[in-house]
Structure 1
């Protein structure tokens, strides 16, 4: 079996599944090798019409036909969904399972599927919906190099990937990428509020902050020979206006605030994993 002709079943047809499917088809993956399963038909009909993939309301049918199973249901629904599968364990042991559900450890998946099941946990962030995501990945010890490469290719359909060596590393990725878009949005919210206080309209304030954020990200991408610190220093003239603003951030211990936020996110991820 070559990598390009594996049959992939997506269990759950939400936004993330739709984005990965779109990326796969766009990259040339055969649509007839993709199955989406979902309890209701609305999302399935849209996916079938847009991408000419196969669809079903029967999870067992999708899993039975698949070489690779992408688990994309909500974490709180995962156990019930997997317990309802009637596909025999011997068959499941031959498949690659890829989870995009937050908080569920490999050991729990192997309890629900099979102790021998090959599991890769992934943590894509919301910019993946635009093909601009960052996905963290962790593979159980029994996952082959070929399966790791396949998973990397799959998640690269919606952005870039970073592998972690230990399962705890998924919680770190959650704090640094999975949850991090909200951190940037929070900072952008603050700037919008200040712009409005200074007399700009809501539309003008949003435009200013949006363009600055987009331009800043592009400068980082297009200056790969420079560190982010170097780029910041280029904007910060000694004794100038930007230096005054940076000094204010530093006097209020911005680094410490960021560290505390990241640690709080990791701690909560660890708590959630124990509840699954």
Structure 2
């Protein structure tokens, strides 16, 4: 099967990295600027003819222009996949028609390492190629079939989530610098802390809630309790929830403006 990327930025690169070693997949891309990458560059008309699956990996503000360019090109038998935030299947159908099989996904950059959590929605659930795309995506992490009405929340947590978690880790990183360790060693320690915490959660999640796991680390009158008291007294949990809410609201705003 041939996969074609329209736009080859960070997300397209991550999807390609996750898929490039899969059997029987061939790749090409089109972008306004030719990239120094290993897969072939094709003009848009050539890419559309080449691809069985067309990925719309462009920024939301550029999607309308791309769809207008795709509109007159032959697309029989092809599937269009869109990870564009805030842009619904109906929006794409306005340009490509309801007969066109369209898949809306929302992965994150961990898809490059086969660790993504990816939302999946389509109006063509019985299309063979649509189902094949679903199967391929399951090789790149966890795939969740999500109603399109829930994409805004999903995007805020799982699409944007890695950036928020890294921002939190960056606070740890700045604090660890007080040890005067080399940055590379600090990063290694942060990776170990994160991996260890995730292993602790993963190994115990079937029998313990997150709250119980936190209590297991917390001694009365100890350092962890002091830090957690500050965390809750200053409503940091609510601030983090506000971060997710702001991301969700921006996705909703983009959806409302999608016909403009």
TM-score strictly above 0.5: yes
Residue aligning to 1:131: 114
Indicate conservation of the 8 Å contact 2:14/2:110, yes or no.
no
Residue number in structure 1 paired with 2:193:
212
> Is 1:10 aligned to 2:5, yes or no?
yes
| Structure 2 counterpart of 1:112 | 95
Aligned to 1:38: 31
CA separation of 1:146 and 1:247: change in aligned 2, threshold 3 A = farther
Offset, 1:97: 1.1
Distance 1:81 1:183 in 2: 30
Counterpart position of 1:47: 38
The residue that corresponds to 1:25 in the other structure is 20
List gaps (5 residues or longer) in structure 2. Answer: none
Distance 1:184 1:114, change over 3 A: same
Residue 158 of structure 2 is aligned to residue 172 of structure 1: no
1:98 counterpart residue number: 81
Residues 1:42 and 1:199: Cα distance change in structure 2 (over 3 Å):
closer
Match of 2:162 in 1: 181
* 1:240 aligns to 2:233 (yes or no): no
Q: Distance in 1 between matches of 2:14 and 2:244?
A: 27
> Cα deviations across residues 166-202 of structure 1 (Å, max 9, x unaligned)?
x121111111111111221222222223333x55446
Tell me how large the CA RMSD over aligned residues is: 2.5
Give the conservation status (yes or no) of the 8 Å contact 1:73–1:101: yes
Shift of 1:103: 1.8
Secondary structure of the structure 1 residue equivalent to 2:20? helix
The count of residues paired between Structure 1 and Structure 2 equals 255
Match runs of 1:184-199 below 5 Å? 184-196=165-177, 198-199=178-179
Deviation of residue 39 (structure 1)?
4.0
- Secondary structure (helix, strand or coil) at the match of 2:102 reads strand
Match of 2:80, SS? strand
Give the CA deviation at 1:220.
2.4
Structure 1 unaligned runs (5+)?
Answer: 1-5, 49-54
TM-score by structure 2 length? 0.84
